[in-house]
Structure 1
Amino acid sequence: MVKMSNLSVFSGSSNPELAMEIAKCLGTGLGKLELRKFADGENYANYLESVRGKDIYLVQSTCSPQNDNLMELLIMIDAARRAAADTITCVIPYYGYGKQDRKANDREPITAKLVAKLLEAAGADTVLTMDLHADQLQGFFDIRADFLYASGPLTEYFMKKKLSDIIVVAPDVGSSKRARAYAKKFGAELAIVDKRRPKPNESEVVNLIGDAGGKTCLIVDDEINTGGTVVNAAEALIRNGAKEVYVMASHGVFASNAIERLEKSPVKEVIITNSIPYRGGSKKVTVVSIAKLFAGAIGAMHDKKSLAQILRGGK
């Protein structure tokens, strides 16, 4: 049981439903915090209860609108630091700007690193996040940072289907490591879709490495953005004789016309977490909660216990 003394959970505007669920799993409620905008659009935050000497956890996914949610989080951190909070942990289920983790062209920024520096500069002590776009982002933080994996809750849901002849599919070479970990959990084979990107947010399947014939295919990725990658992969799998196709992703970004694209695709079901609030109406989409995963990590951190078991359980 988590020792609730000196622990307070506050929610930003991006995902209050998840924050409330996390607090409930911890056996507490959300702290009182006023968030609003001035007439000119500037963000404002005011803690309506004392945080002096407390360990506070700020739940805020930096999803769309990314700039508003990130700025709000920075202001929440600054307000807590000036109100003499003992420790400030940013609980960021979805880490926005995570895809900008390297210079692909000359004179480009590495925005994922910039965001990490901004969190530290604002006064955060720790960052707790989940399923970063690439593992190397872990080295971008100079403050303490812990990284969770959604594979535990996601595989638990999928295993209840008791499907046979499963093959796990990486929709591109970059996601093969993640897909291999899922394949190990399911005791399944691995296939890889070889793709190229003619331009940003567009992908084109070149080749399928593996045999999908007569198989139930599970495409695994860190996020679904425009949906192009997973839809193209699903179509390639069906062309190669797949029986049916499921998609599993930690983050449902669903930018542009992603939902419409998935609706028209051969994908049978799309399984995501609630790291980002899902507001779509597609019956193909199933949302799996990560509240217990984050509550377990927060409880262990607050009680100064090891996170190793939680991290191993999620991988």
Structure 2
Amino acid sequence: MMYDEYMFCKDAESDMVDGRHSPPTIKTSGAIHPSMEIPLLIPKEKPPITVVGDVGGRIAIIVDDIIDDVGSFVAAAETLKERGAYKVFVMATHGILSSDVPRFIEESAIDEVVVTNTIPHELQKLQCPKIKTVDISMILAEAIRRIHNGESMSYLFRNIAMDD
């Protein structure tokens, strides 16, 4: 074993002892170039879905910044419905909704997916009527105008009419 490899393994072992390695490395390493080795990474396991509190007879809302792969949303919706949630809504800022996502949403326990129009997704909406869009173009334009003119952003969010 070369000196550099020994030092790398020693550092990796000490990291694992105190839990600093994220994601954890595997001892074997893949070589890109004969003189350079990098650790192979293994993905972290996702914790099981837990529901805190009573959702029986209530509407559950799942909020995220991006929705693309819906596996975790579908699993969460199933768990919430099993626990008695009346409806399950998923809300996300950016609806990427690639591949078979519209079909997965349509076949799931999710009642509605609400996304903004930051990414076009008209085709996905045609495939799944559960997907709804909120137009945020006016608020984005006003935010840009306010930033450009050095005006208050907090004023913008305190004074939004309920119908906007």
Q: TM-score range by the shorter chain?
A: 0.5 to 0.7
Question: Is the CA contact (8 Å cut-off) linking 2:55 and 2:80 kept in structure 1?
Answer: yes
Question: Is the CA contact (8 Å cut-off) linking 1:205 and 1:233 kept in structure 2?
Answer: no
CA apart distance, 1:105: 3.7
Question: Is the CA contact (8 Å cut-off) linking 2:23 and 2:43 kept in structure 1?
Answer: no
Structure 2 residue 128 is the aligned partner of structure 1 residue 306? no
Aligned counterpart, 1:173: none
CA apart distance, 1:263: 0.8
2:96 to 237, 244, 253: 253
Question: Is the CA contact (8 Å cut-off) linking 2:146 and 2:153 kept in structure 1?
Answer: yes
Question: Is the CA contact (8 Å cut-off) linking 1:297 and 1:307 kept in structure 2?
Answer: yes
CA apart distance, 1:313: 6.6
Query: Where does structure 2 lack aligned partners over 5 or more consecutive residues?
Result: 1-20, 26-41
Equivalent residue pairs, number = 121
CA apart distance, 1:312: 5.9
Aligned counterpart, 1:275: 118
**TM-score when normalising by structure 1:** 0.35
CA apart distance, 1:226: 0.6
CA apart distance, 1:199: 5.0
Aligned counterpart, 2:132: 286
Aligned counterpart, 1:220: 63
Question: Is the CA contact (8 Å cut-off) linking 2:56 and 2:85 kept in structure 1?
Answer: yes
Query: Where does structure 1 lack aligned partners over 5 or more consecutive residues?
Result: 1-102, 108-197
Partner SS for 2:144: helix
- Which amino acid is 2:87 matched to? E
Aligned counterpart, 2:37: none
- Which amino acid is 2:89 matched to? Y
CA apart distance, 1:210: 1.6
CA offset digits 1:136-175 (Å, max 9, x no partner): xxxxxxxxxxxxxxxxxxxxxxxxxxxxxxxxxxxxxxxx
CA apart distance, 1:104: 4.0
* RMSD across aligned positions (CA): 2.8
- Which amino acid is 2:105 matched to? L
Which runs of 4 or more aligned residues in structure 1 lie more than 4 Å from their structure 2 counterparts after TM superposition?
311-314
Q: Matched residues, percent identical?
A: 35
Q: 1:244 to 1:259 in 2, by over 3 A?
A: same
- Which amino acid is 2:151 matched to? K
Query: Rg: which structure is higher?
Result: 2
Aligned counterpart, 2:76: 233
Question: Is the CA contact (8 Å cut-off) linking 2:61 and 2:89 kept in structure 1?
Answer: yes
CA apart distance, 1:214: 1.0
